[in-house]
Amino acid sequence: MIVVMQKGATEHEINYVVERVQSLGLRPHVIHGTERTVIAAIGDKRDEHRASLESCPGVAEVIPILAPYKVASLEVKPERTVVRVGPFIAGNSHIGVIAGPCSVETEEQTLSTARAVKAAGATALRGGAFKPRTSPYSFQGLKEEGLKILAAAREETGLPIVTEVITPADVPVVAKYADILQIGARNMQNYRLLEEAGCAGKPVLLKRGPAATAEELLLAAEYILNTGNHNVILCERGIRTFESHTRYTLSLATVVWLHQRTHLPVIVDPSHGTGHSALVPQMAAAAVAAGADGLIIEVHPRPEMALSDGFQSLTFEQFETTMELCRKVAEALGRVLGAGVPATCQ
Ligand code: PEP
Ligand code: MN
């Protein structure tokens, strides 16, 4: 249920409703909107308590939440959530751009990539240190050593770090270095991991599972939101279909569908979504046209030498031209891509 407070309801009245919600065995989520405050009351036996909440002082109305996902829904919060970490802004007029290698391999590889993507207008650096690989014989990542390299790149460039955490036990070490915790597609429904990551106090980037519906993605996001962490970014990264000319099938309609149901920012990963560097620039631009609030793109100084996902990684030059293309689309829609127009293009 959503308890909608009257305009001008006092702090005291809001706190009273929060206490009532708790005493009824429900979990309160307070959302302060520009117009009014609403309190989402989440739990199993919601509807029984409707009348009791409706009669609390300062309450305008109590409405059932129809969507199966609650805190993520537009019903609870009609205003868009904007996730900001330093120069990275995703939501409303801003399109955040996260770029970098699939895996952190060496300091030189990561630092040179960080410099190049920053110069092209990216606002965050990606790089996997804990890698969830399909084969146990593939490169598994540099782990904490990789996190230290990412931290050095942040130190030099000022770009916040986005990196994946693959087990609940690794959350503390990853959160020590990362600015945004990435939950990978394979872990979208690892509910204990979602909760641990939510509790780390950093924004969480949640990727859609390759076999998950968009509704399941929103329900997974709900696990993070229920920890009280409202900084959640959803990511469409392609799903498994019978089609084989692309690594996955990148569902851009899902971006629009999600925006019609959730206030959370939605970003797109055209690298994993296509699996071919030649397809990335146009699909990145198409994602911007579909209203994506951000992009996450794999970039490598020498894709042919990459220890993971080289076939879908862009060179520095390709990333720069991709940014130019996406910027034109963003400008046509009245949005700002990444850091705006870099000095080299003015
Ligand atoms: C990645 O971002 O490198 C990655 C492993 O992505 P996904 O979880 O979408 O496969
Ligand atoms: Mn990858």
**Tens digits of per-residue pLDDT, 95-104?**
999 999 999 9
Give 9-64 pLDDT, tens digit per residue.
999 999 999 999 999 999 999 988 888 899 999 887 667 889 999 999 999 999 99
Give the mean model confidence (pLDDT) for residues 252-259: 98
pLDDT on residue 33: 83
Q: How much is the pTM?
A: 0.94
- Token pair 């019609």 in the structure block, residue: 260
The rounded Å distance from CA 10 to ligand 2 centre is 49
CA distances to 37, 95, 263, 268, 302 from 316, rounded to whole Å, are: 46, 20, 33, 19, 9
Q: Measuring from atom 6 of ligand 1, which residue has the nearest CA?
A: 184
For the stretch 34-37, contacts whose Cβ atoms lie closer than 8 Å and that sit 24 or more positions apart, written own/partner, are: 34/79, 35/7, 36/4, 36/5, 36/6, 36/7, 36/9, 36/60, 37/5, 37/9
Q: Quick check: 343 pLDDT over 60?
A: no
Give the mean model confidence (pLDDT) for residues 273-301: 98
pLDDT on residue 146: 98
Give the mean model confidence (pLDDT) for residues 263-281: 98
User: What's the chain's length in residues?
Assistant: 346
Q: Measuring from atom 10 of ligand 1, which residue has the nearest CA?
A: 185
Where are the alpha helices (H) located in 58-190, listed in sequence order? Answer: 107-119, 144-157, 171-177
- Which of 234, 250, 272 to probe ligand 1 with, by most ligand atoms within 8 A of CB? 272
pLDDT on residue 47: 73
Q: Rounded to an integer, what distance in angstroms lies between the CA atom of residue 159 and that of residue 126? A: 9
Q: Which ligand is nearest to the CA of 186?
A: 1
Give 232-244 pLDDT, tens digit per residue.
999 999 999 999 9
Task: Return the SS3 of 95.
Answer: strand
Q: Quick check: 310 pLDDT over 70?
A: yes
- Which of 142, 182, 207, 296 to probe ligand 1 with, by most ligand atoms within 8 A of CB? 207
Q: Can you read off the two tokens belonging to residue 232?
A: 């959640």
Q: Can you read off the two tokens belonging to residue 24?
A: 């009824």
Q: Measuring from atom 8 of ligand 1, which residue has the nearest CA?
A: 184
Give 212-225 pLDDT, tens digit per residue.
999 999 999 999 99
Strand 180-183 to 204-207 pairing: parallel
CA distances to 44, 65, 67, 178, 246 from 26, rounded to whole Å, are: 8, 14, 17, 33, 45
Percent of the chain whose predicted confidence (pLDDT) is above 70? 98
Nearest-atom index, ligand 1, CA of 308: 3
| Cβ 314 vs Cβ 306: under 8 Å | no
Residues with CB under 6 A from ligand 1: 102, 128, 132, 184-186, 207, 237, 269, 272
The rounded Å distance from CA 19 to ligand 2 centre is 45
pLDDT on residue 345: 56
Tell whether the torsion through CA atoms of 83, 170, 207 and 336 is positive or negative: positive
Helix axes 214-225, 191-199, angle to 10 degrees: 40
pLDDT on residue 49: 86
The rounded Å distance from CA 185 to ligand 1 centre is 6
Give the mean model confidence (pLDDT) for residues 191-210: 98
The rounded Å distance from CA 87 to ligand 1 centre is 23
CA distances to 57, 112, 206, 292, 336 from 285, rounded to whole Å, are: 50, 25, 21, 10, 13
Burial of 135 (0-12, 13-18, 19+ CB in 10 A): exposed
Q: Quick check: 342 pLDDT over 90?
A: no
Count of other CB atoms within 10 angstroms of residue 215 = 14
Q: Measuring from atom 5 of ligand 1, which residue has the nearest CA?
A: 184
Give the mean model confidence (pLDDT) for residues 243-271: 98
Q: Rounded to an integer, what distance in angstroms lies between the CA atom of residue 258 and that of residue 241? A: 20
Give 99-154 pLDDT, tens digit per residue.
999 999 999 999 999 999 999 999 999 999 999 999 999 999 999 999 999 999 99
